[in-house]
Chain A
Amino acid sequence: EDQVTQSPEALRLQEGESSSLNCSYTVSGLRGLFWYRQDPGKGPEFLFTLYSAGEEKEKERLKATLTKKESFLHITAPKPEDSATYLCAVLGTDSWGKLQFGAGTQVVVTP
């Protein structure tokens, strides 16, 4: 059974204070690892897909990396508008289309 664990559960940062979120996963064979951002009262918004170990993707102050056991979402010099819950999900080769989500990391960036 595919499993995803995200840490920490919550993260409070000062504006400009860089940090990383962790997503550890167990999957039979990885077809894709997805990062989403979720704002309060909204649905998850797609950020990145990573398909193989060593792959990296960047978008503004966010950078996602992937190893065989975990993924990191690095937030560089965050701004208050980066405050959100960040969700990680994996798609395994035995799971056709059925994403396994982690519980998320709630990030608060204060001015």
Chain B
Amino acid sequence: NAGVTQTPKFRVLKTGQSMTLLCAQDMNHEYMYWYRQDPGMGLRLIHYSVGEGTTAKGEVPDGYNVSRLKKQNFLLGLESAAPSQTSVYFCASSRVASNQPQHFGDGTRLSIL
């Protein structure tokens, strides 16, 4: 059972470079989320999507863009990477009802030099 799969698992970028993180889920979930996790700060929501073709801003959206062209995929883009975006990024998905538990992938560890 794959669940939520994130690629890549690790990446090192230089300041100003761009990249896209991919999240894929095979549970037919409507809702998908992108979080970042930094030491001592807990998980913070970047963007989320309530269905194919829809996206919305979370708590810390600046510097990131997202797209949900297919129900099973949710992409997170960094157009011009900054050292402050060094973090571990997690994708999650959940069923339609917003009080259903979110299921997480194993993360992408991103370092920006």
Contacts and interface: CB of A to CB of B under 8 A. Distances in A.
B106 A42 contact: yes
A42 B37 CA distance: 12
Contact of A46 (B98, B99, B103): B103
Interface of A: 4, 31-32, 34, 36, 41-46, 49, 51, 87, 89, 91, 96-99, 101-104
16 contacts: A4-B42, A31-B98, A34-B101, A36-B104, A41-B107, A43-B107, A44-B90, A49-B99, A51-B99, A87-B42, A89-B43, A91-B98, A97-B33, A98-B48, A101-B44, A102-B42
Nearest to B50: A97
Contact of A91 (B33, B40, B99, B107): B99
Interface centre among A87, A96, A97, A103 (most CB of B within 10 A): A97
A87 B43 CA distance: 9
Nearest to A48: B101
Interface of B: 4, 31, 33, 40-45, 48, 50, 58-59, 90, 92, 94, 98-99, 101-107
A31 B99 CA distance: 6
Contacts, number: 55
Nearest to B97: A97
- 3 tightest Cβ-Cβ pairs between the two chains A and B: A43-B104, A97-B98, A101-B42
The main secondary structure of chain B at its interface with chain A is strand
Nearest to B107: A43
A43 B98 contact: no
Given A43-B104, A91-B99, A102-B42, 8 more contacts: A31-B98, A34-B101, A42-B107, A45-B104, A87-B42, A97-B94, A98-B45, A99-B45
B13 to A, nearest CB: 20
